[in-house]
A = this chain, B = another copy of it.
């Protein structure tokens, strides 16, 4: 797949990248806004009790919160209204977040006593999936989702090459129920200056498993789940399954059947397969309760600089909705002890997801 990639700078110096599905589009439109330089002051702090990093980003309290549709900053610039995207239309666009949790140069901070802190070096990007404000990832044509996969892979390579970046984490938050502040279909990518705690934990487990058996823990899961009662859908090269120990009422893991570290390692056929499978799974999500399901979609990739052979990439899509009218809340057991309580048996969730009519709309492939 060949995308045309064009980099421009927004009025405050942030980078914006157009990813066009065809050649010959004029991308010279300039950002006409009068923007003050974005101020960032993030730092990362190591929790001395758990030795896990936390991001402190105290400049973000004033960020944009659910603007009306006619003031959406992710729509193209049209009718004299300048948005984050200078062009009058686009396929997929990526730009640096104006309210980033991490930034290239957030200023220096110093350690003091037993407390380790570092500048919040990294980068936070916004990925607009479509110029259509009322769209949704699951309702896009497979071809566009394929473009999004390509963009994730591109960003993983580029952000991973930045100084100080240790892990690239593409994700989508969808739905007001999980705090989404902009409705326009979009995801984000965080380039962390550390290996994320959940990834680090999974790598520790994978390492112990490899030392004990010589094999990959994720490969053994894929083998054990294939054709089992928790399978939701498959395409060549991929398995979508409700995990054996699901934490969320509706949770699906998308595993590449081949052992590979990250999205850039996917071959063309596997990228095609992921696009088809994503559309299928997210369509089933919206079919569950005949309403758009609030969900999180994340991509667990290998760290950039270590454990490249050990890690086996996978994606996770999960929802906090447990019935048509009830949400799952993370309360003291989950947030305090780290003990998740799931009210729906994973086998039952898989059954419901297999039965869910895919509501991917009329756009088809």
Contact = CB atoms under 8 A, between A and B. Distances in A.
Contacts of A291: none
A257 interface: no
B339 A53 contact: yes
A342 B243 CA distance: 30
Interface in A337-355: 337-346, 348
Nearest to A49: B202
Contacts of A331: 173, 178-180, 296
Contacts of A58: 342-345, 348
A205 interface: yes
Contact of A224 (B114, B332, B343): B114
A251 to B, nearest CB: 10
Interface string A236-249: 00000001111100
- Interface size bracket, A side: 35 or more
B49 A342 contact: no
A327 B337 CA distance: 21
A318 B331 CA distance: 11
A336 B54 contact: no
A214 to B, nearest CB: 15
A363 interface: no
B329 A179 contact: yes
Contacts of A48: 205, 217, 220-221, 244-245
Interface stretch (A27-35, A69-77, A137-145, A191-199): A191-199
Tell me the dominant secondary structure on chain A's binding face.
Answer: mixed
Interface string A76-109: 0000000000000000000000000100000000
Contacts of A47: 243-245, 247
A2 interface: no
Given A221-B114, A330-B330, A342-B54, A296 B171 contact: no
Contacts of A297: 332
A148 to B, nearest CB: 15
Contacts of A336: 169, 171, 198, 296, 298, 300, 316
5 contacts: A48-B245, A55-B339, A115-B244, A197-B339, A330-B330
